[in-house]
Amino acid sequence: MTPKYFIRFSPLLSFFLTTALYSQSLPPASDIYVGDLSVFDGLYYLDELENITNRGNVYDNQPSFTPDSRSILYTASYSNQTEIHRYYLASGRTTRITRTTESEYSPNSIPGDRALSVVRVEQDTSQRLWRFTMEGMDPDLLLPNIAPVGYHEWANPETVLLFVLGSPPTLQTANVITGNSEVLTENIGRILKKIPNRDAWSFVQKNDQNEGWISSVTTESGQIEPLIRTLNADGFHAWTSEGVLLGSQGKELYQWNPSLEDDWRKIADLSYLSGPISRMAISPNGNTIAVVVDAEP
């Protein structure tokens, strides 16, 4: 494990480190699909997935559920930028949250606050963490001295886990009250997830051979524990409400129960999808799964 230490980025250093994880050219096309998720006798099942974006050859990605499990926040591309949308599961209605001249990515609900956090690509290409109300109002810069932020996941109303771009990228915790951050480890992947029923979060740790392990970290102690090898280089994954890990490989879904299984177990072949599965999210109540389907190369 990499020793922990405190680090603050000066604005000048942040500017030079900003190698544009979210570049000015928009990412490749993708869609978000949603389906019911259930479990029987330890195995997970999902109904046929429905495309909830389906806007053609554009980028709809990075889904995250609101705490009440009733809606999904996601990133949607327009002609030259991205904004944040909200999809309501019951009605199938979509609303646009942000309407800005910058691009916003990676939306997450802020615990205990009727607001969301995003990674904003600012006019000078800096990538920092911002807060908006759920109506897209009152933008507020949360961590002025930490950049370039790529992805994030909240630990509690004051503490957030960050994927900070660099060479190599680092996993950090940051306090939005003090602005201080702490590096927990380096050479990580893009995925950060809360592990249900534990004060821990998962991420992808890569070794010197660029092999990935889904690992856990506790924000209090910073202790890191390898869990299982990733199914692919990116290590896309999500946790069910019962603490079972789901992962993807191509158009297939797998599960791993840490208390029962030694390795991944295939649970679904979704060959009807138009492309491979990448990111995924599971609702807090465990009843719904959202997956991103990338356009075929």
pLDDT single digits (tens) 22-46: 655 678 999 999 999 999 999 999 9
pLDDT in tens, 264-290: 999 999 999 999 999 999 999 999 999
**What are the φ and ψ backbone dihedral angles of 91, each rounded to 5 degrees?**
-95, -20
pTM of the model: 0.91
Average pLDDT, the chain: 91
Percent of the chain predicted with pLDDT > 70 = 92
Q: Check if the beta carbon of residue 272 is closer than 8 Å to that of residue 290.
A: no
What's residue 27's pLDDT? Answer: 85
Domain spans of the chain, in order of start: 5-294
The pLDDT assigned to 70 comes to 98
CA distances from 138 to 85, 115, 255, 270, 294 (A): 17, 10, 40, 41, 33
**Looking at the predicted structure, is the pLDDT value of residue 2 above 80?**
no
Look at residue 8 and tell me whether its pLDDT is greater than 80. no
Percentage of the residues of the chain whose pLDDT score is greater than 90 = 86
pLDDT band of 296, cuts 50, 70, 90: confident
Taking CB atoms within 8 Å and a gap of at least 24, the contacts of 47-50 are 48/272, 49/270, 49/273, 49/291
CB 72 within 8 A of CB 86: yes
Least confident of 20-29, 89-98, 206-215: 20-29
The pLDDT value given to residue 17: 36
Phi, psi of 106 (to 5 degrees): 50, 60
Quick one: pLDDT band at residue 12, thresholds 50, 70, 90?
A: very low
For residues 207 and 65, which has the higher predicted lDDT (pLDDT)?
65
pLDDT band at 219 (very low <50, low <70, confident <90, very high): confident
Q: Tell me which long-range contacts 251-254 makes (C-beta under 8 A, separation of at least 24).
A: 251/275, 251/276, 251/277, 252/277, 253/46, 253/277
Euclidean distance between CA atoms 159 and 180, whole angstroms? 10
pLDDT at 6 over 50: no
Residue 13 pLDDT class (50, 70, 90 cuts): very low
Q: Closest Cα to residue 12, out of 147, 122, 104?
A: 147
Mean pLDDT, residues 9-32 taken together: 56
| C-beta separation of 215 from 205 below 8 A | yes
Q: Which residue has the higher pLDDT, 276 or 296?
A: 276
Q: Quote the pLDDT of residue 23.
A: 52
What would the mean pLDDT of 84-103 be, rounded to a whole number?
98
- pLDDT grade for 239, boundaries at 50, 70 and 90: very high
The better pLDDT of the pair 79, 195 is held by: 195
Q: Which CATH class is domain 5-294?
A: mainly beta
Average of per-residue pLDDT across 140-146: 98
